Structure 1
């Protein structure tokens, strides 16, 4: 059950909101002062706070800052009796999720609360592709983390594979510019994390970073979410809404799954990029904007253009720089880094010490195709650490069924392939005997280096391309 705290100096509002939200399954407490609220939050964690902007002992701006210091994960929605949109925008820029204007309408409140929790859950899921640092593990810390100009570490696993290094090189190359960037990669590869990194290394890093999932927007909602709307501009527009472009003013706007936007919205976006002004829905007033745009898609936008799904002129506006994120299956050298980071993170979350990953699980990880990429890996590690008793090794029993089935099938295929080679080797065919010896040597070396193909190629004194060719020839699925 979610915990909600109401902070308002009007007792009637506290009472009504408490009863209303309580009836809809929330655990609700209320107070009429900011100081009392902070004391309550020190003693108990609240998932969401509904806070009046004007209080007798403080104001919303100061209270928002205090709440974020106490618990940065608490969602804050500001209640204001003032129609000054600039205050509301400032609140959102400083970390508030959204705002409500008095008089309050029950359906609007409930809708916004549900939306806020859904947004928070989506953020938590996306954070799977933005792992935190590897803590005190000395063997991993330097390879996992980068340092900014102040010497502090940031919270990204960069990787050591050739693909990962090229990715970081491109990020640092384009970040200081104001280029529009297209990020292309499969689901779960970390597109939003890359967008965050670009923003982090840009001249706009002290300004807002606003992310919008275009895949979840209907045609009707997209214009309002992007550009905002005026009160009464359409049915249900109870209050004026500030859109994503205004929220990101001076900073970066990240549009995820941009290819899902309707044709009409694509036309409006093209105008915004060209003119650098927006108009809220229901308004004729043009608002100047200074926003860097980063877009992402799990399909190539150029192919979407060819299919007529995406406007060619908008594609060329976005396509000042394109970054490709390789899937996890092409970054096997980075697998250990991600696992180390995720295990350490889960240990902090669960407050327990996880054991080692068994050799069989490690072999399974190396062979698995990872269709969900880094996000899937993190979820697998979270599940495995939860199911495994403290200090005990993580075994196959803690893995999802689909991974165990995939590994079992791969093992059977390898065994069958080995059997075929052995049977053929019974013939006095020197070529077949040589293939059998080569097969056995490669398998043994791969096991020795824990299936690291780069190290295997070095030990075998061949390059990686030659090794991959031999793996395909001998039907070795590692």
Structure 2
């Protein structure tokens, strides 16, 4: 953190070239045998078919673990799996591994071995590009790519879940290109009825169909000289796809009902929440159009895959809300931040933004607590059985970023420890307060007081179980 008066700025460092070696994963288990090589920065391991390294085994969680490559090396990260990730007999959550290494996901042993082939991937030193924010390697890899391609006219396809910020990518590309200041037209392929979409895209002449009372320019001609963003391109019907392909190849547009074609000079950025390569395999998207759009492909990671970006995003959205509602931005406790880290964010950054704004409006003091947030949503987890974890370095970062006094920081740490300790103790004792008190080495009455104070549930209907 760099502090200058009231200004606080996170500095990551200079841009680097990250060397990505090819590596091989080999799985051995009861009925689970798989070997696959990768040369990418992030690989997901799990039983879900969408995982990069999919393993069909009952002991493997859907999104069990991941391997990330960053400036330090190869990280093995457990995604809150039910049966854990182990190296030898040691259960690990987040650890750097050497090559070769054997680790275990559930009951399945996986061998990790780096091979010789390597490529260089540019990692930006910046923590933002346009209005996109992120200090994670995943986002800085995207920033590094966008910094290189934005000044060109290359066609870009952005893939990512809803709410990840695909429109922000298009806007940032335009902002950092020679077409900045020129028209920027956003066309949502899913928001226009099938019988009107051709007219909306390419325009029409008067009388070409019922309701065409005058000539009208379509989205492509409106964007002439600038950038067109084709959102939800995966929703485009098969019969219209060849017409779009011709425009992309010839840079000529024929309005509906017209005998003339018009030259068009646009940069095209398309986006989808689908995996278009799979749509091509399924026959619902033309292969030639896919390759015309995906000259450069940007894969936006969902928010749950980059939890290290949450503090920066939360701070940004709190400041946004402060400006919008003319109130001082409240602080956010470490406990609340950890719960936000462990939530899966199915709506991604868009959901986080709405979440923070709602919490900002509902808070009555200078801190946002979980009681002001959507409790039902917070019960959902990133993976099958993930639980909030206390990470010392993360807590210290939280203290520094929020400039907490020593007394407040100490109290937060104590509060967090108490709740975590007693939650675990009640789990292992089946909610029996007498057993929990004996294990804790304190009087039963003291244990009852702590449990009531923390609002924890015990085995009995009254909330306290004393039976042995």
Instruction: Give 1:384's aligned residue.
Output: 359
Instruction: Provide the C-alpha distance between the structure 1 equivalents of 2:290 and 2:132, rounded to a whole number of angstroms.
Output: 30
Instruction: Kindly indicate whether the alpha-carbon contact (under 8 Å) linking 1:157 and 1:337 is maintained by their aligned counterparts in 2.
Output: no
* Superimposed CA distance per residue, residues 199-229 of structure 1 (whole angstroms, 9 cap, x where no aligned partner): 1111211311111111112211111110111
* Superimposed CA distance per residue, residues 243-295 of structure 1 (whole angstroms, 9 cap, x where no aligned partner): 11011101111101101011121111011112211111111111110111111
Q: Could you tell me how far 1:157 is from its partner in structure 2?
A: 3.8
Question: Structure 1: which 4+ aligned runs deviate by more than 6 Å?
Answer: 141-144, 407-411
Query: Per the alignment, do residues 401 and 230 of structure 1 end up closer, same or farther by CA in structure 2, a change over 3 Å counting?
Result: farther
> Are 2:395 and 1:450 equivalent residues in the alignment?
yes
Query: Per the alignment, do residues 155 and 174 of structure 1 end up closer, same or farther by CA in structure 2, a change over 3 Å counting?
Result: closer
* Superimposed CA distance per residue, residues 288-326 of structure 1 (whole angstroms, 9 cap, x where no aligned partner): 101111111111111110111101111111121111111
* Superimposed CA distance per residue, residues 428-463 of structure 1 (whole angstroms, 9 cap, x where no aligned partner): xxxxxxxxxxxxxxx55x1552398xxxxxxxxxxx
Instruction: Provide the C-alpha distance between the structure 2 equivalents of 1:407 and 1:267, rounded to a whole number of angstroms.
Output: 42
Instruction: Provide the C-alpha distance between the structure 1 equivalents of 2:304 and 2:382, rounded to a whole number of angstroms.
Output: 18
What SS does structure 2 have at the residue aligned with 1:182?
A: strand
Question: Among 9, 12, 22, which residue is 1:140 paired with?
Answer: 9
What SS does structure 2 have at the residue aligned with 1:183?
A: strand
Instruction: Give 1:239's aligned residue.
Output: 214
* Superimposed CA distance per residue, residues 176-207 of structure 1 (whole angstroms, 9 cap, x where no aligned partner): 22111111111111111011111111121131
Instruction: Kindly indicate whether the alpha-carbon contact (under 8 Å) linking 1:183 and 1:324 is maintained by their aligned counterparts in 2.
Output: yes
Instruction: Kindly indicate whether the alpha-carbon contact (under 8 Å) linking 1:263 and 1:310 is maintained by their aligned counterparts in 2.
Output: yes
Instruction: Kindly indicate whether the alpha-carbon contact (under 8 Å) linking 1:158 and 1:168 is maintained by their aligned counterparts in 2.
Output: no
Aligned-pair RMSD on alpha carbons? Answer: 2.8
Q: Could you tell me how far 1:405 is from its partner in structure 2?
A: 2.7
Normalized against structure 1, the TM-score is what?
0.55
> Are 2:169 and 1:194 equivalent residues in the alignment?
yes
Instruction: Provide the C-alpha distance between the structure 1 equivalents of 2:243 and 2:152, rounded to a whole number of angstroms.
Output: 24
Instruction: Kindly indicate whether the alpha-carbon contact (under 8 Å) linking 2:132 and 2:168 is maintained by their aligned counterparts in 1.
Output: no
Greater strand content: 2
Q: Could you tell me how far 1:414 is from its partner in structure 2?
A: 5.0
Instruction: Give 1:133's aligned residue.
Output: none
Instruction: Kindly indicate whether the alpha-carbon contact (under 8 Å) linking 1:143 and 1:159 is maintained by their aligned counterparts in 2.
Output: no
Q: Could you tell me how far 1:240 is from its partner in structure 2?
A: 2.0
Instruction: Give 2:235's aligned residue.
Output: 260
Task: Report how many aligned residue pairs link the two structures.
Answer: 281
Normalized against structure 2, the TM-score is what?
0.56
Instruction: Give 1:172's aligned residue.
Output: 147
Q: Could you tell me how far 1:402 is from its partner in structure 2?
A: 2.6
Instruction: Provide the C-alpha distance between the structure 1 equivalents of 2:322 and 2:377, rounded to a whole number of angstroms.
Output: 23
Instruction: Give 2:265's aligned residue.
Output: 290
> Are 2:225 and 1:213 equivalent residues in the alignment?
no
Gaps of 5+ in 1: 1-135, 145-152, 416-442, 453-478
Greater helix content: 1
Instruction: Kindly indicate whether the alpha-carbon contact (under 8 Å) linking 1:157 and 1:338 is maintained by their aligned counterparts in 2.
Output: no
Instruction: Provide the C-alpha distance between the structure 2 equivalents of 1:320 and 1:137, rounded to a whole number of angstroms.
Output: 43
Instruction: Kindly indicate whether the alpha-carbon contact (under 8 Å) linking 2:228 and 2:269 is maintained by their aligned counterparts in 1.
Output: yes
What SS does structure 1 have at the residue aligned with 2:269?
A: strand
Q: Could you tell me how far 1:141 is from its partner in structure 2?
A: 6.7
Instruction: Give 2:205's aligned residue.
Output: 230
Question: Among 362, 372, 377, which residue is 1:398 paired with?
Answer: 372
Q: Could you tell me how far 1:236 is from its partner in structure 2?
A: 1.5
Instruction: Give 2:311's aligned residue.
Output: 336
Instruction: Kindly indicate whether the alpha-carbon contact (under 8 Å) linking 1:225 and 1:243 is maintained by their aligned counterparts in 2.
Output: yes
Gaps of 5+ in 2: 14-127, 398-468
Task: Name the stretch that deviates more: 162-171 or 322-331.
Answer: 322-331
Instruction: Kindly indicate whether the alpha-carbon contact (under 8 Å) linking 2:129 and 2:172 is maintained by their aligned counterparts in 1.
Output: no
Instruction: Kindly indicate whether the alpha-carbon contact (under 8 Å) linking 1:140 and 1:337 is maintained by their aligned counterparts in 2.
Output: no
Instruction: Kindly indicate whether the alpha-carbon contact (under 8 Å) linking 1:305 and 1:311 is maintained by their aligned counterparts in 2.
Output: yes
> Are 2:245 and 1:270 equivalent residues in the alignment?
yes
Instruction: Provide the C-alpha distance between the structure 2 equivalents of 1:314 and 1:248, rounded to a whole number of angstroms.
Output: 20
Instruction: Give 2:33's aligned residue.
Output: none
Instruction: Provide the C-alpha distance between the structure 2 equivalents of 1:143 and 1:329, rounded to a whole number of angstroms.
Output: 21
Instruction: Provide the C-alpha distance between the structure 2 equivalents of 1:369 and 1:272, rounded to a whole number of angstroms.
Output: 40
Instruction: Provide the C-alpha distance between the structure 1 equivalents of 2:383 and 2:160, rounded to a whole number of angstroms.
Output: 28
Q: Could you tell me how far 1:396 is from its partner in structure 2?
A: 1.2
* Superimposed CA distance per residue, residues 371-410 of structure 1 (whole angstroms, 9 cap, x where no aligned partner): 1111010000010001112x42111121124323337999
